[in-house]
């Protein structure tokens, strides 16, 4: 064959290669996304303090959201909100039980096919990887066991049930794999790190990827890696102004806590606080390994990394020893750090953001049309890019349906039926009528929280966080009546919102319109409380 013929053939082959490879090449140019989700990591009480590497590698290289919240301060409803981009009243996961729709057959049928990872895989061509805790009842026999792999995941390494560090079962693409208590091969945080590094090593290089790594830390039982068991020996829980005080003028569940706390309760919560920090050091190592791997593969500059938690936590506030589930800042406020393409280093952002925004943001990064979704959240991408004149929300909804036993708790028979998570000194952290909904609002005028309980009292709590950041003084009886009426109306609207109607102007936005007549319609707030109907009707 002549040299000219060879040249023509070479040009032809190059053209064919270009035509064949260009879609993959175009896909490969889309950013990768990593979402690291911790379990019960607060930000209000110093939960990010031990995360030196994470702060250096994500926060200092990107943006820290100073006002990031969850719409429900409990693992399963919060995780469902992350996956669906919806408020609990729209995804119907109300607590950590199968009866509360946590990983139930109803959840699997109705919500899972429409989660953002499912859309990333089916509509955006992303390879998707999950490792760690999914939903608290995942793997339950009545919900299909560990053989159930939710739609949308190319690689699935999910923990059966709730957080553990040793002696657990993973679903490895639908097959059960049992782990024991040998640190070198079984410590779950390290196992998740190693699985993540293996994925990055062996994944396809012709598709963008999404990774969700969901660690057990710092959830109980707070089992630290051996090398960290002696860390923070001089650390105790913060003694801030709402520590070990009586929750006067609050819902009865808060008022029932005994003040002052017993010495044994204080010792217990201090010990838990230290152990929580110890478990986080392994998460810090995971972040470092992941960032180094991405850098070594030349993919760090094209990868967004999100770091957040499913809810906050309290240790002694209003004399409640340890838990979450309450409406206060220490339980609903979470860390949110993001680095990635186009994000300037060492940035902070004060906008009011929520975990329902994560799904829309990641789909927006992938180039998906958000108008095709029914998500309640907003894309953070304009904030990440530093766009000017961004129209943003001034409020969002917090909602929770309390849990309780039908019978009396043996530790606290005097409180009667309906309480749960009780301590030996008869302080209970939850109850059936710990069922509430709040509007959390931030504007130039107010830093305010308005809450209503679905109980016989129809109890109301209101806090001005500008004057009272620790939410000690309930001002429901002294605040201007017009503000109360507007907040009550706004709560009604948010409790019945869906999709775009969840993003309408808040009470203190210029575009807000208040019609008092609607407060007395048949669509009032109490009609919108969580229903006790069976899940089969959802």
75: annotated active-site residue: yes
Give 514's pLDDT tier (boundaries 50, 70, 90): confident
pLDDT tens digits for range 41-50: 999 999 999 9
Distance CA 248, CA 256 (A): 10
Domains for the chain: give ranges and CATH numbers. Answer: 32-387 (3.40.720.10), 399-517 (no CATH)
Helix ranges restricted to H, 256-372: 263-296, 329-332, 358-365
Helix (H, G, I), strand (E, B) or coil at 176: strand
Distance CA 363, CA 378 (A): 11
Q: What is the end-to-end Cα distance of the chain in Å, rounded?
A: 71
All residues at 6 or more sequence positions from 355 whose CB lies less than 8 Å from its CB, including other chains: 68, 69, 70, 71, 78, 81, 82, 308, 310, 334, 377
Position 7 scores a pLDDT of: 42
Distance CA 538, CA 529 (A): 15
Distance CA 402, CA 165 (A): 27
Position 513 scores a pLDDT of: 87
Which pair of tokens denotes residue 509?
A: 């936005």
Q: Over the Cα atoms of the chain, what is R_g? A: 24
Give 519's pLDDT tier (boundaries 50, 70, 90): low
Looking at residues 260-264, what average pLDDT do you find? Answer: 95
Q: What DSSP character marks residue 35?
A: E
Which pair of tokens denotes residue 534?
A: 């069976």
Give 218's pLDDT tier (boundaries 50, 70, 90): very high
Distance CA 521, CA 436 (A): 21
Helix (H, G, I), strand (E, B) or coil at 219: coil
Catalytic site residue from 75, 102, 438, 451: 75
Q: What are 161's strand-pairing partners?
A: none
Give percent above pLDDT 70 in the chain: 91
Statement: residue 19 has pLDDT above 80 = no
If one counts every other C-beta atom within 10 angstroms of the C-beta of residue 197, the result is 16
pLDDT tens digits for range 285-316: 999 999 999 999 999 999 999 999 999 999 99
Pairing of strands 347-349, 419-422: unpaired
C-alpha torsion 212→217→223→225, nearest 10: 70
The residue whose two tokens read 């319609």 is 521
Statement: residue 18 has pLDDT above 70 = no
Statement: residue 150 has pLDDT above 90 = yes
pLDDT tens digits for range 173-209: 999 999 999 999 999 999 999 999 999 999 999 999 9
């Amino acid at each position: 064959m002549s040299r000219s013929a060879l040249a023509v053939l070479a040009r032809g082959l190059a053209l064919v290669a270009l035509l064949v490879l260009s879609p993959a090449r175009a896909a490969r140019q889309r950013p990768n996304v990593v979402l690291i989700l911790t379990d019960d990591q607060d930000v209000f009480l110093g939960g990010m303090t031990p995360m030196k590497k994470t702060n250096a590698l994500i926060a200092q290289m990107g943006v820290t959201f100073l006002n990031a919240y969850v719409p429900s301060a409990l693992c399963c409803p919060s995780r469902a909100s992350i996956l669906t981009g919806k408020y609990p009243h729209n995804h119907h996961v109300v607590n950590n039980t199968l009866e509360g729709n946590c990983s139930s057959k109803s959840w699997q049928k109705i919500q899972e096919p429409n989660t953002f990872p499912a859309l990333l895989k089916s509509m955006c061509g992303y390879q998707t990887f999950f490792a760690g805790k999914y939903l608290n009842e995942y793997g339950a026999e009545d919900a299909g066991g560990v053989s159930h792999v939710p739609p949308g995941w190319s690689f699935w390494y999910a923990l059966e049930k709730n957080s553990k560090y040793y002696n657990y079962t993973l679903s490895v693409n639908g097959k059960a794999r049992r782990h024991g208590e040998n640190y070198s091969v079984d410590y779950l945080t390290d196992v998740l790190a190693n699985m993540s590094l293996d994925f990055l090593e062996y994944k396809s290089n012709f598709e963008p990827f999404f990774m969700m790594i969901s660690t057990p830390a710092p959830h109980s039982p707070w089992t630290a890696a051996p090398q960290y068991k002696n860390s923070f020996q001089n650390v105790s829980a913060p003694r801030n102004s709402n520590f070990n005080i009586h929750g006067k003028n609050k819902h009865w569940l808060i008022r029932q806590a005994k003040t002052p706390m017993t010495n044994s309760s204080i010792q217990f919560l201090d010990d838990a606080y230290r152990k929580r920090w110890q478990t986080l050091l392994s998460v810090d190592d995971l972040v470092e390994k992941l960032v180094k791997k991405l850098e070594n593969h030349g993919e760090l500059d094209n990868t967004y990394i999100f770091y957040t938690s499913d809810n906050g936590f309290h240790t002694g506030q209003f004399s409640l020893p340890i838990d979450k589930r309450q409406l206060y800042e220490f339980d609903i406020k979470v860390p949110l750090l993001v680095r990635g393409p186009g994000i300037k280093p060492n940035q902070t952002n004060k906008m009011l953001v929520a975990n329902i925004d994560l799904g829309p943001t990641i789909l927006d990064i992938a180039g998906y049309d958000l108008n095709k979704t029914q998500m309640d959240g907003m894309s953070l991408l304009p904030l990440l890019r530093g766009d000017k004149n961004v129209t943003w929300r001034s409020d969002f909804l917090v909602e929770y349906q309390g849990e309780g036993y039908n019978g009396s708790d043996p530790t606290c028979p005097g409180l009667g039926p309906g309480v749960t998570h009780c301590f030996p000194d008869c302080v209970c952290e939850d109850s059936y009528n710990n069922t509430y909904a709040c509007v959390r609002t931030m504007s130039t005028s107010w830093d305010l929280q308005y809450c209503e309980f679905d109980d016989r009292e129809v109890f109301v709590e209101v806090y001005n966080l500008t004057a009272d950041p620790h939410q000690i003084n309930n001002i429901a009886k002294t605040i201007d009546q017009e503000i109360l009426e507007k907040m009550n109306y706004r709560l009604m609207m948010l409790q019945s919102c869906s999709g775009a109607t969840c993003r309408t102007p808040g009470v203190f936005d210029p575009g807000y319109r208040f019609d008092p007549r609607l407060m007395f319609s048949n669509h009032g707030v109490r009609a919108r409380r969580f229903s006790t109907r069976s899940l089969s009707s959802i």
